[in-house]
A and B are shown apart, each in its own frame.
Chain A
Amino acid sequence: MFQFFTNLNIDWMGWRKVFVVISILVLIAGMVSAVGRQITPGGTDAFNLGVDFQGGTVITVKFKEKPTADAVRSALNNVGISDAVIQDSTDKLDEKLIKIPIIEGKELPAAQTAGEGGAAEPQAPTTGTQVEVGRASVKRALDTFGREASAELALDQDTEAAYKIVGTDSVGPVAGAQLRDAAVLATLLGMVGILLFIAFRYDWTYAGGAVVAVFHDVLVTLAFFSIFQWEVNLTVLAAMLTLVGFSVNDSIVIFDRIRENLTLHRTESLYSLTNQSINQTMSRTIVTNGLTTLAVLALVLFGGEVLRSFSLALFVGAIAGTYSTIAIASPIAIWWQGKIGVAEVKDVLTPQEEGTKLASSSRRSVTRRPVTR
């Protein structure tokens, strides 16, 4: 039988202070990045928020001959868009992403008639909301490179065309705020739901440990997004909630083992039982999380531009989740139990008397024991 870890005997709990310090350092780095970027005038914001959350327009354009970013920028300047972000698509050589911030309320110079080809299409409005103006203005700017392929044809079918807009994401500021609020609400409610379920199945102390671990994972992921300025959009929310699920899943596997060991070895300290439980499940932890991480890595590598933020969030979250289960969730659960006097956490393995009941000593601890100070 081929196996990664058998008969591990690592004193994980003994390392808990080191773990906490590591986590805090990562979180501080994230905080420094977020706050630092926010207060630096003229610099980037705390997070690279996508149009989903702050409003704006992203246009994906396929070119026959791709102009330089500067050429695109000056064309955009001519139609009155000054602070566009222009980047090459990471997976398609002939595509560019043009991201323009909110332009609502700004008067744009009057439309210039597109001369060539007699294509006197009705001109776009010169004022209006983000969503009405965004695509039209970019189109006007790009028309200086040649005309857009007609709606029914692909770019290479239309010989006279120079480019084609293949995708638009345009969100007005009101809708952006709505999406953002819904996202925050969904994440928080998701955590409350999970907390209640674990409290019902296990105990408040475990629920507390699991939820702190989940917060940790979400914050660590956000820290990475701030430090590396990856784009935060709607799919990142989905990724966050998934990693919440995964992280709690990991915690539950270990909690479940602790609960089981509590009934089997009543005389041992919770400290050593927790260590044992982590060691016993280590093989599963490595296999499952290793596989998940690799599946997500496949998403990062092959998932394409649209899934990029999503995959990155999951990738960071999956690693943080594994770590936090061992390093955060379990120590907090037993620390809390020690605090409320139902178990004693000692740094040495001391057998405890039978009488010291643990918060979840029964196999099925659905029966609620009063946990009061």
Chain B
Amino acid sequence: MKNTGLLIRTAIIVVIALVGIYVVFGPRHSPTAADFTLEGIKNNLSENINLGLDLKGGSHLVMRVKTDEYLKTLTENNAQAALTAAQDAKMPAMENRITAEPGNYQVDIIVSDPSQANATVEEIKKKVDFFNWTESIDGNTISWSLPVQMQELLKRQAVDQALKIIESRINAFGVKEPTLQKHGAESAGQILLQMPGVDDPERVKNLIGAESNLTLMKIVSPPNPSPVQTYPTEDAARQSLGGTVPPNRKIFPYSERDEPTAGASATPDPNRPKSYVVVEYPAIVDGSELRDAAATSRTGSDRDFEISFSLKPAGAQKFGDWTGKNIGNYMAVVLNDEVKSAAYIRSQIFDQGQITGRFTKQSAEDLALTLKSGALPAKIEYQEERTVGPSLGADSIRAGVSASLAGLVFIIIFMLFYYRGSGINAVIALLLNMILTAAALITMDSTLTLPGIAGFILGIGMAVDANVLIFERMREEIRDGREIPKAIKNGFDRAFITIVDSNVTTIIAGVILYMYGSGPIRGFAVTLILALLINLFTAVFVSRTIFMWLLERNPEMKKLSI
């Protein structure tokens, strides 16, 4: 055994151990005297380790963008726009037919004169974007269908767009350090949102899911000074249209003086008399033309808020043209398919408007915020919600840590009792293993979760196993009458293969867990894998070096405390 070899081994171990200790316990600022007190070390430790949501408290939300609905709306809008465009151009288009089911989206336009079909197509394509669609003409039917690849592309774009909108909404809401990312398979359209410290996500959830789709529409009604034409029931409104609703009309409930909250969470007041109005479709301007929206209070009272909005230049131009031509007519401010206010046009308006209603401060602010961030491309559906209050998280840490410590203390006592002097060796290797595993977690910027703590404990178990294998082997060799140096060498050599085989097997299981598992399971897999890799270093290399030191001091060793 060469002395220099031993020194190099020792140097490697000391350096790695010191770096590990610094990474785990060291301050991230220039050290002060306080950093060397127990309290200081504790503080530094908790600063260095990145705790998962289950330990520090927070919300974990998985939502899905209803991408099929997005494509359905797109198909319906295109079909309506195509028919309107053809009829405006005096083409013989009679009706549109819509196919919209998952995987199959198609618009058919029926013309009365097949010879005019090509001309109709030309007219429609001037106004409506069918660029991504496959076009075909069969007799008097013009068809556009959406290829599957294009469907996937559009769905992905919808999810990306939703992601951006959600991001702007939660940022405006002021969530600290949120994690927002796509989740699961690409085609699933899922989004994961984690918000540390938020343990009641109700308001954020409503805010994110709020559709807040604003449109300004013309009401079908005799002009001012006659009052706006309303109907007591939806049926009555339909009767006024001759029994069926034509494609260019819509019936919306008129909920004046309602008290809405952001988006879908509005609770209809059962006592409020309902009325309905008929509006012209498509809208004069819609939410995408919105430039800004703000909550304002007319009287300063908390229950008397309204939302004032302004339009982008293009929208303002359109709105100005329309209002100029429609003085005296009634216009509806429609929010989420409900008419919030109806007013007649007194003079030409370009870019300013209000949504009135008895909003509270919070509901007006939330609504303004969702309007400003733009409309979601499709509805959001929540699939998973997990919240952990800070107290529950702290309890979990305490439980996890005390379980780990109890296990650790027991193992240390046992090893010292059972293996005597060599037990010290094993305990050093074990503690080093724990420090290095924690250091690796910190270096990788990985978060420690509750299952992660469990992985830690199992890592300890495997580390102990490696030492037990080696020591049992040495004992056997000694029993068989081998010299101590030879017994130590054989013990390590023989056990090494077993340790590698068994650790690699568990690492394989860990890697697969990481690849296919979800959030909490991954945390477990990461800690376990790290602990096992480090185990190969501590249980074999470090432990052996300590035995080498013993032999170096006493080459003729006759007895080994094991």
Q: Which residues of A contact B (CB under 8 A)?
A: 1-3, 6, 60, 62, 91-92, 110-111, 122-126, 128-129, 131-132, 134-136, 151, 154, 164-172, 174-175, 178-179, 182-183, 185-186, 189-190, 193-194, 197-198, 201, 234-235, 237-238, 241-242, 244-246, 248-249, 252-253, 256, 260, 280-281, 283-284, 287-288, 291-292, 294-296, 298-299, 301-304, 306-307, 310-311, 314
> Which A residues are in CB contact (< 8 Å) with B150?
none
CB <8 Å contact, B513 and A238: yes
Contact A238-B389, Cβ < 8 Å, known A124-B202, A172-B384, A295-B407? no
| Cβ A295 vs Cβ B457 within 8 A | yes
> What residues of chain A lie closer than 8 Å to B512, measured between beta carbons?
186, 189-190, 193, 241
Task: Determine the distance from Cα of A215 to Cα of B196 in the docked complex, in whole angstroms.
Answer: 39
Complex CA–CA separation, A110 to B266 (angstroms): 12
Q: Given A124-B202, A252-B501, is A241 in contact with B396 using a C-beta cutoff of 8 Å?
A: no
Residue in A185, A242, A281, A295 whose CB lies within 8 Å of B509? A242
Interface centre among A3, A198, A256, A287 (most CB of B within 10 A): A287
For B520, the closest partner residue in chain A by CB is A234
Q: Are B383 and A175 in contact (CB under 8 A)?
A: yes
In the complex, whether B321 has a CB less than 8 A from a CB of chain A is: no
Contacts of A185 in B (CB 8 A): 516
B389 near A165 (CB under 8 angstroms)? yes
Out of B387, B392, B516, name the residue touching A186 (CB < 8 Å): B516
A260 and B403 contact, CB distance less than 8 A:
no
> Could you tell me if B505 and A170 are in contact, using CB atoms closer than 8 angstroms?
no
- Known contacts A92-B395, A111-B267, A253-B469; decide if A2 and B418 are in contact (CB<8 Å): yes
- Pair count A-B, CB < 8 A: 243
Contact with A along B189-226 (1 / 0, CB 8 A): 00000000001101001100100000000000000000
Select one of B209, B382, B386 contacting A172, CB under 8 A: B382
Q: Which of B37-45, B75-83, B139-147, B409-417 touches A? A: B409-417
The answer to whether A295 touches B410, judged by C-beta atoms less than 8 angstroms apart, is yes
Question: Nearest CB to that of A280 among chain B residues?
Answer: B476
B174 within 8 A of A: no
- Bound form: Cα–Cα A280–B407 in Å: 27
Task: Give bound CA distance, A295 to B458, whole Å.
Answer: 8
Q: A256-B498, A260-B494 are in contact. List 12 more A-B contacts (CB 8 A).
A: A6-B479, A91-B399, A129-B381, A132-B209, A167-B392, A170-B386, A244-B509, A245-B509, A288-B465, A302-B399, A303-B400, A304-B403
Interface of B is mostly: helix
Asked if B462 is at the interface (CB within 8 A of a chain A CB), the reply is: yes
The docked-state distance in angstroms from the alpha carbon of A164 to that of B200 is 10
- Contacts A167-B389, A302-B402 known; A256 to B501 CB distance under 8 Å? yes
The 4 closest A-B pairs by CB, nearest first: A304-B399, A245-B506, A295-B407, A166-B389
Chain A residue with Cβ nearest B503: A249
Contacts of A298 in B (CB 8 A): 403-404, 406-407, 410, 457
Partner of B510, one of A6, A168, A245: A245
Q: How far is the CB of A128 from chain B (nearest CB, A)?
A: 8
Q: List 22 A-B contacts (CB under 8 A).
A: A6-B479, A111-B267, A129-B382, A131-B382, A151-B200, A166-B389, A166-B392, A186-B513, A190-B512, A194-B508, A238-B524, A245-B509, A248-B505, A253-B502, A280-B476, A287-B468, A287-B472, A291-B461, A292-B465, A301-B403, A303-B454, A310-B451
Partner of A249, one of B465, B472, B513, B516: B465
Task: State which of B472, B502, B524, B562 has its C-beta within 8 Å of the C-beta of A283.
Answer: B472
Q: State in angstroms the CA–CA spacing of A190 and B521 once bound together.
A: 14
Within the complex, which residue of A134, A154, A183, A249 is in contact with B502, where a contact is CB–CB below 8 Å?
A: A249
Whether a CB of chain A sits under 8 angstroms from the CB of B464 is: yes
Question: By the criterion CB–CB under 8 Å, are B199 and A151 in contact?
Answer: yes
Set of chain A residues within 8 Å of B402, measured between Cβ atoms? 302
The answer to whether A302 touches B403 (Cβ under 8 A) is yes
**Are B265 and A307 interface neighbours, CB within 8 A?**
no
Distance of A284 from chain B, by nearest CB (Å): 4
Closest B residue to A164 using CB positions: B389
Q: How far is the CA of A295 from the CA of B464 in the complex (A)?
A: 11
Q: How far is the CA of A329 from the CA of B356 in the complex (A)?
A: 75
| B202 engages A235 (CB within 8 Å) | no
B67 contacts partner chain A, Cβ-Cβ < 8 Å: no
Q: Which residues of B contact A135 (CB under 8 A)?
A: 202, 385
